[in-house]
């Protein structure tokens, strides 16, 4: 057997296997679900029944997402399309747009390239850090898991270019078997250009199409006839309908058919059809009679023909250009026509489609339009946001959920990183010291809620598996103020940095107000996900950024509530200076906002939204809702800024 070997494929004589930790998914948002659908889901859950299917948009590394899908979906995915990195160095960057200043009304729209986050840079290093060797190991581990997820009648399409395509094919052959390769599809993705150097212009990608078994789903696809072909072969036009048609013979190619030999309209021949069928065709106007007499012929209409059966060379689908309506300004975006062809060919309505490199969301959008079920994921936060907006732009989009691995991924990390010693309290202490070191703070003892100090401020470290809550802030504030004393030399205000993985929805200004009443200045800073990655830690790539702050005004008239965005403050830590200078009004930070009018502490339900698109860059800043029933309601507002970060605000309303 021929085998491709690379450094890292084997360890101690055995192939290195992918991570197989199956973690539960956390639903962080439900999108476009009606109140009736929401209640039905709650009722099903309460009765112990399986909830209705929801398509899934997952933010996370496929290294953890794919094994976490296996318990539920092993052998159940009908079609997989993946468009993995090509070693371009720009797979995680994106173009962000600063919209017009609403105060001037002038066209001031500018764009800038947002560089990859540390997590995305780390993922890229893991993929290409050792060059081709690490890429092949990374791909091999992914394909192993995808093979397990695929149903016996399923297919996989792997989209690559000339840099790695021939190596990748060897990897996929090893997992699926060489005999399972159905096609290498050549997609002409670019127009030839003149090159100053001595080689031919690279204008195509390769898409490797594999079936898991011989029983694969296949729906033949066709391309339209060329204009030249139409003019040559369909040169007749029906005077009544305007339909183009060609003339085909009605004579039977087998002359030895006595039952089909008869006289028709004065002409005796061995006809292709029975006399009864000829009568039907004649009544339907499908027979052409030459004006000067002669043998009648069959009228074959162009619009009844399926077209030219597709081959493995696709030259009729152009790439997404900057003027296309579907353009999302995502560097690696693929055209919808390409995915439409693939999904139609190898799946049926209701089948499950998976893409673990969703990027701009093309696979999800096309699967949605073709009424397939879908699961898509991506490591990039902005990819998730771009896909969510794109899906919301589809008329009558079905409800879907946004998920991540959240606290479960962190719990697995903590268990592995701090497995020793056995004492739980000591393990927790080691975890807190680890975070304090990364924050460049000094640990202190003797306190329950305060764990360190930095630059004259105290530091609290939030738990791995729970968000920082208002009660946590109250306890921290009380302990901080108690620690500084009440003597004449005591400061008028004490400071504390509260570091957390997640923060409860009701925190924001309310928690700061409560702390301020206790003479404590609170700063909320997010513990970045990069902490989970050893290499990022070793390289000192860890930064803690303060949370953004959102202000919302509420107007109430009887049972109608109107929310108005009033202010949005983004800490400057993670924002390039030229971007900060280009922002003249706070609303220019906001790309999208959504409202859950009746938050029930289950998950954020997107019941209303406004967002910017290239066609409509304006953003509504007010949202209104009329409640049907009296009662107290928790309203949650979610804002996503132009960098893809989200901020929430909780408002309590009472309807009488």
456 CB burial (10 A radius; 0-12, 13-18, 19+): exposed
Within 13 A of 29's CA, how many CA atoms are on the CB side?
Answer: 25
Helical H segments across 150-294, by residue range: 165-176, 227-233, 275-283
Winning range, highest mean pLDDT, from 50-54, 509-513, 552-556:
552-556
Supply the pLDDT for residue 197.
Answer: 65
pLDDT above 80 (res 556):
yes
CB 147 within 8 A of CB 212: yes
**How far is residue 551's CA from residue 195's CA, in Å, rounded to a whole number?**
54
Domains contained in the chain, CATH given: 74-218+312-377 (3.40.50.150), 225-304 (no CATH), 409-545 (3.40.1350), 548-603+612-655 (2.60.40.10)
Q: pLDDT tens for residues 604-633?
A: 999 999 999 888 888 999 999 999 999 999
By the 8 A CB rule, do 367 and 398 touch? no
Q: Which residues contact 368 (CB under 8 A, 6 or more apart)?
A: 55, 374, 391, 394, 397, 398
For range 419-433, the mean pLDDT: 78
For residues 214-243, average pLDDT: 91
Nearest Cα to Cα of residue 157 among 184, 189, 190, 188: 184
**Does the pLDDT at position 641 exceed 50?**
yes
Average pLDDT over residues 226-247: 91
Contact 196, 216 (CB under 8 A): no
Ramachandran category for residue 371: left, alpha or beta (phi over 0 → left; psi -120 to 50 → alpha):
left
Give the count of alpha carbons within 13 A of 335, CB side only.
17
Mean pLDDT of the chain: 87
Give the residues across from 59 on adjacent strands: 378
Tell me the C-alpha distance between 251 and 234, whole Å: 20
Q: Is the pLDDT of residue 514 over 80?
A: no
What does each C-alpha distance from 226 to 35, 214, 292, 314, 565 come to in angstroms?
Answer: 50, 33, 32, 14, 54
Reported as a single tens digit per residue, the pLDDT across 167-225 is 999 999 999 999 999 999 999 988 766 555 677 888 899 999 999 999 999 999 998 88
């Amino acid at each position: 057997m021929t085998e491709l070997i690379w450094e890292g494929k084997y360890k101690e004589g055995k192939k290195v296997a992918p991570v197989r930790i199956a973690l539960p998914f956390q639903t962080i948002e439900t999108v476009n679900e009606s109140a009736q659908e929401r209640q039905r889901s709650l009722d099903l859950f309460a009765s112990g029944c399986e909830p209705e299917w929801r398509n899934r948009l997952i933010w996370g590394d496929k290294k953890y997402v794919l094994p976490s899908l296996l318990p539920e979906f092993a052998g159940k995915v009908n079609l997989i399309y993946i468009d993995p990195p090509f070693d371009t160095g720009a797979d995680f960057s994106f173009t962000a747009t600063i919209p017009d200043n609403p105060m001037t009304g002038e066209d001031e729209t500018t764009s800038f390239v947002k560089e990859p986050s540390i997590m995305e840079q780390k993922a890229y290093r893991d993929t290409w850090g050792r060059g081709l060797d690490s890429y092949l190991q990374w791909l091999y581990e992914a394909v192993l898991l995808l093979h397990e997820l695929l149903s016996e009648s399923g297919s996989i399409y792997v989209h690559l270019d000339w840099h790695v395509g021939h190596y990748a094919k060897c990897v996929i052959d090893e997992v699926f078997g060489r005999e399972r390769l159905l096609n290498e599809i050549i997609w002409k993705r670019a127009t030839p250009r003149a090159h100053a150097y001595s080689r031919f212009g690279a204008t195509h990608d390769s898409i490797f199409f594999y079936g898991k078994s011989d029983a694969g789903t296949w729906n033949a696809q066709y391309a339209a006839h060329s204009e030249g072909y139409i003019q040559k072969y369909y040169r007749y036009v029906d005077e009544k309908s305007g339909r183009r048609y060609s003339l085909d013979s009605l004579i039977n190619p087998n002359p030895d058919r006595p039952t089909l030999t008869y006289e028709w309209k004065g002409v005796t021949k061995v006809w292709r059809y029975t006399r009864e069928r000829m009568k039907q065709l004649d009544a339907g106007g499908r027979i052409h009679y030459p004006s000067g007499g002669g043998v009648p012929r069959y009228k074959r209409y162009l619009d009844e023909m399926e077209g030219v059966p597709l081959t493995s060379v696709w030259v009729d689908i152009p790439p997404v250009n900057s003027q296309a309506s579907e353009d999302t300004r995502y560097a690696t975006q693929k055209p919808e026509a390409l995915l439409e062809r693939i999904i139609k060919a190898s799946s049926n309505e209701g089948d499950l489609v998976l893409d673990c490199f969703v990027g701009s969301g093309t696979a999800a959008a096309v699967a949605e339009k073709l009424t397939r079920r879908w699961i898509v994921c991506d490591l990039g936060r902005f990819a998730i946001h771009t896909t969510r907006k794109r899906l919301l732009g589809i008329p009558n989009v079905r409800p879907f959920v946004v998920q991540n691995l959240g606290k479960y991924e962190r719990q697995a990390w903590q268990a592995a990183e701090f497995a020793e010693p056995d004492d739980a309290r000591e393990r927790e202490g080691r975890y807190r010291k680890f975070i304090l070191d990364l924050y460049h703070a000094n640990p202190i003892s003797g306190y329950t809620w305060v764990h360190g100090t930095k630059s004259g401020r105290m530091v609290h470290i939030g738990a791995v598996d729970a968000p920082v809550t208002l009660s946590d802030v109250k306890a921290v504030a009380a302990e901080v103020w108690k620690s500084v004393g009440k003597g004449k030399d005591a400061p008028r205000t004490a400071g504390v940095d509260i570091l957390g993985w997640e923060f409860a929805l009701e925190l924001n200004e309310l928690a700061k107000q409560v702390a301020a009443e206790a003479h404590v200045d609170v700063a909320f800073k997010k513990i970045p996900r990069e902490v989970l990655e050893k290499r990022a830690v070793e390289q000192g790539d860890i930064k803690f950024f303060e949370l953004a702050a959102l202000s919302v005004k509420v107007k109430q008239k009887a049972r109608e509530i109107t929310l108005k965005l009033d202010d949005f403050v983004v800490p400057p830590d993670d924002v390039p200076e030229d971007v900060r200078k280009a922002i003249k009004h706070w609303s220019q930070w906001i790309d999208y906002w959504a409202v859950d009018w009746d938050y029930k502490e289950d998950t954020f339900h997107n019941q209303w939204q406004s967002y910017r698109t290239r066609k409509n860059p304006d953003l509504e800043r007010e949202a209104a809702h009329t409640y049907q029933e009296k009662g107290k309601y928790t309203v949650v507002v979610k804002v996503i800024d132009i960098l893809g970060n989200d901020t929430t605000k909780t408002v309590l309303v009472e309807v009488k």
